[in-house]
Amino acid sequence: MMLNPVWLNTFKTLIENRHFTRTAEILHMTQPGVSQHIQKLEEACGYDLIRRQKKSFDVTLQGELLYNYILATQQQESAFFETLGANDKTSGKCALSCSGSLATLLYSGFIELQTKYENLVIHLEAAPNNRILEQISNGQTDLGIVTQKPDPLLFSSEIIGREELVLVFPSSKSLNLDNLAAEIMQLGLIRHPDIDHYLRLYLAHCEETVLTYLDVRKIKTKGYVNQIHQILLPVSQGLGFTVLPRSTVNNFELAKQLKILDIDSVVAETLYLIKKRNRHMPARFEMIKAHIKKALN
């Protein structure tokens, strides 16, 4: 028995949106039409797929199994079409996940590639390391760029570059190296999703003795921003300091209102380009890899 693909799509959309009316709007259907599709699918499967509760519903065990089956089928179909076009160097979908700062650095170049090759589709997502590994594992993304070498039993990886981290503060402020720790404590920190990792890494490797033993827990927070393009705005207005990749600072539109702490050493993270272990990548990914390497260098 073959399940009706239209019903399956309705079910998948309903599960992902958790609302009959919203599902009907997305699929350009009526709400009774959505209910009818679900009912027919339940009859075909021989099980209740959802448990209705007034205006909401819970997904049954059989419903969860069916949803996972739909996802797996879609991934298999995507892999099949990818195989058909494996040798086409300039068309097809390329999904890449990396940090927000790298996404900003890479995106304009990807747009140029898509403008040149109209059948090339690039899906770029900003995500933290753990999320990128998860996406690679479950097939949601093809390539990822992370800052820690992943498990070689699960992933293939290669060093693709390094990303320099800098401590950046308002140009209106002057930081004296002799009294740097106290002045940083006074200035306060503009936080963002990667700040704890960036700050600890910077302090551990900057080779400035006055900063090495700085207790990050005692630095007062002056603000928090989770959008990469906006993190430096409060810094430029004199509200605090932060630590970010140099490329993010250089590309900021108000860069003249910022200063980078001048130190003798370079603090940088190694960048690993990763994919799922033993996965054969279509030819177009060589072009994507070449663009990434060029942008990073």
Domain range annotation of the chain: 5-83, 87-161+270-296, 163-268
At 56 the pLDDT is: 84
Give the model confidence (pLDDT) of 94-150 as tens digits.
Answer: 999 998 889 988 998 999 999 999 888 999 998 888 889 999 998 889 999 999 899
The CATH fold of domain 5-83: Arc Repressor Mutant, subunit A (1.10.10)
Q: How much is the average pLDDT of 11-23?
A: 92
- Taking all residues of the chain, what is their mean pLDDT, rounded to a whole number? 89
| Domain 5-83 identical in fold to domain 87-161+270-296 | no
CA–CA separation, 115 vs 117, rounded Å? 6
The CATH fold of domain 163-268: D-Maltodextrin-Binding Protein; domain 2 (3.40.190)
Give the model confidence (pLDDT) of 154-198 as tens digits.
Answer: 999 999 999 999 999 999 888 777 788 888 888 999 999 889 889
Which CATH number, 3.40.50.620, 3.40.190.10, 3.40.640.10, 3.50.50.60, labels domain 87-161+270-296?
A: 3.40.190.10
Q: How much is the average pLDDT of 10-14?
A: 93
- Report the share of the chain in percent with pLDDT over 70: 96
CA–CA separation, 116 vs 296, rounded Å? 21
- The position carrying tokens 């393009």 is 229
At 39 the pLDDT is: 94
Is-above-0.85 flag for pTM? no
